[in-house]
Structure 1
Amino acid sequence: MREGPGHSGRGNAGDGDIPGRDLLYDLAACLRFYSRLPVPRLPGEPDPHATPDFRTVPRMLPIAGLVLALPAALVLVAAKGLGLGPFLAATLAVAASCLVTGALHEDGLADLADGFGGGATPERRLEIMRDSRIGSYGGIALVLALALRIGALATLLDRTGALATAAALVLAAALSRIAALAPMVILAPARPDGASASVGRPGKATVGLAAGIGLVLCLLAVPFGLPPGGLLLMAGLAVMAVLALTAIAQARIGGQTGDVVGGCQQVGEIAALLGLILAVPA
């Protein structure tokens, strides 16, 4: 029987010798849920295939975002070092990101765009969002999102260099995933039988820890050449973009779904990269 939200499944207090093991379990759950990485079962970990409890698991989202973005950052640095140029390096980096995550958030953005753009009522919009086929609104949203991410990374490569852009890529991945918790915290699930309703909603302690880790990552990015003002703009614009999309979701479907969360991550990442560009001289 599948464990419901709220069941930690951590075992007894004396089991295992892993310091901070609950955080490690949450990190592993995030990596499995948000990517196609082959994450092995950790010693003493409960069922690795159980539905994650989103009341606690998202506290490790910033670290998971960092891990998921590292392959793309390495591809970007290597491609630039091989002389492929900013556009090709940025394109390969975004392609690597999609491979690692299985285009999970991109799929959510496409479904959200189709539903919000093609439905006349909340019920019809939710029905369209459940359809796995991509329509014109979803296709346009995907093309624009990919173009904006590639263009932003190529611009940063021109202005800041490979290492600073790689740091920005990793940081944007982490900050956008923290910001994308907003619809889960602010809005009720739009479907009582949907995935968002079954996984639970992040609590204040979970969001607070995720935000704290995000702040630490921002500070660690400064030595890579990212300006403090740019870091503030990255975080601020990511939050603003996600809150705007959250408000649209409330107006269009009366709540949030997994597609809304995925779309928020995408617009948050784009907004974060654009915020940094605004702070870096041309």
Structure 2
Amino acid sequence: MISKPMIAFDRFRQALGFLTILPVREKAGGSADAGLFTYARFFPAVGILAGLLSGSIFYIASLIWTGLIPALLAVIASLIATGALHEDGLADTADAFGGGWTREQRLAIMKDSRLGTYGVLALGLGTALRVCALATLPPSIAVLALVAVHAGARFAPVAVLAAQTYAGDPSTAKTSYASTRLPMSEARQALLWTLLAIIPILFMRPFALIVGLIFGAALSLALTLYSHKAIGGYSGDVLGAIEQVFEIGCLLGLAAA
């Protein structure tokens, strides 16, 4: 009989394998992917690791360079670690919502692997905003900010999973989506990981963190509501885009405050 801690570790490994390039998704206990809903609660925990990696790169680079270089290297590190998973979702969502006129057209565009003008612009502008906002932060604050931002950005899609349903046909999706909403108990566990990530910067820069969270949540909520109107729910690409707009908004808010 497998213990609960072993099951939890198995689910964390699958979340880590889903959100990063690490080949650990199907090695935990030899089990196959049991479905996105079984390990979504660990998304912010993976975000903490991504934030620690990105923050460490930023801090080390800041000992050598100033200006945009440390911020750019930190963003590149997160891109490599995640395989640009969320950026791909942002680009596909921008193409679909920018170029599609009906629900069917938007869903079809999302499944198209080709990159359009809207996707290119979204990728370029989104990356530029993250780099420029991050470059305004002192290194010691940037490390803590990146941990909080990456965890919060991974919680945003979890909140959408709990609030909306999948817009397409789950049987044709590359990832295992359920036809129902994520149980609130799973979302609450994800929230606990997110709260753990924001505690350090909360004590050092409480006002800046609050402003950043408001900015990130506002952009995520706006995209979520538009997605519900445009396609009737969420898709995998929309979840990636929601992660990205939260990251962009939160960093802009922190920089502003």
**Structure 1 stretches lacking a partner, 5+ long:** 1-11
Cα distance in 2 for partners of 1:52, 1:87 equals 41
- 4+ residue stretches of structure 1 with deviation over 4 A? none
**Is the 1:175–1:214 Cα contact (8 Å) retained in structure 2?**
yes
| Residue number among 31, 36, 43 corresponding to 1:61 in the alignment | 43
The one-letter code of the counterpart of 1:203 is: P
Cα distance in 2 for partners of 1:54, 1:37 equals 17
Cα distance in 1 for partners of 2:215, 2:191 equals 15
Aligned to 1:33: 18
Structural RMSD (CA)? 1.9
Q: Does the C-alpha gap of structure 1 residues 233 and 52 become closer, same or farther in structure 2, counting only changes over 3 Å?
A: farther
1:183-262 alignment runs, 5 A limit: 183-192=160-169, 193-195=171-173, 198-200=176-178, 201-222=181-202, 225=204, 227-262=205-240
The one-letter code of the counterpart of 1:26 is: R
Cα distance in 1 for partners of 2:58, 2:67 equals 9
**Is the 1:35–1:101 Cα contact (8 Å) retained in structure 2?**
yes
Aligned to 2:148: 171
Task: Give me the identity figure in percent.
Answer: 37
1:1-282 alignment runs, 5 A limit: 12=1, 15=2, 20-39=5-24, 41-42=27-28, 45-47=29-31, 50-82=32-64, 84-156=65-137, 161-192=138-169, 193-195=171-173, 198-200=176-178, 201-222=181-202, 225=204, 227-279=205-257
TM-score when scaled to structure 2? 0.91
TM-score when scaled to structure 1? 0.84
**Structure 2 stretches lacking a partner, 5+ long:** none
Greater fraction of residues in helix: 2
Instruction: Report the CA distance between 1:57 and its aligned residue.
Output: 0.9
CA deviation profile, 1:244-269 (whole Å, cap 9, x unmatched): 10111011111210000000000011
- Paired positions, count: 253
**Is the 1:152–1:274 Cα contact (8 Å) retained in structure 2?**
yes
When Rg is computed on C-alpha atoms for both structures, the one with the higher figure is 1
CA deviation profile, 1:33-67 (whole Å, cap 9, x unmatched): 0110233834xx242xx334333312111111111
Q: Does the C-alpha gap of structure 1 residues 52 and 109 become closer, same or farther in structure 2, counting only changes over 3 Å?
A: farther
Moved more, 31-40 or 58-67: 31-40
CA deviation profile, 1:78-126 (whole Å, cap 9, x unmatched): 11111x2130111111111111100000000000000100111111111
Instruction: Report the CA distance between 1:196 and its aligned residue.
Output: 8.0
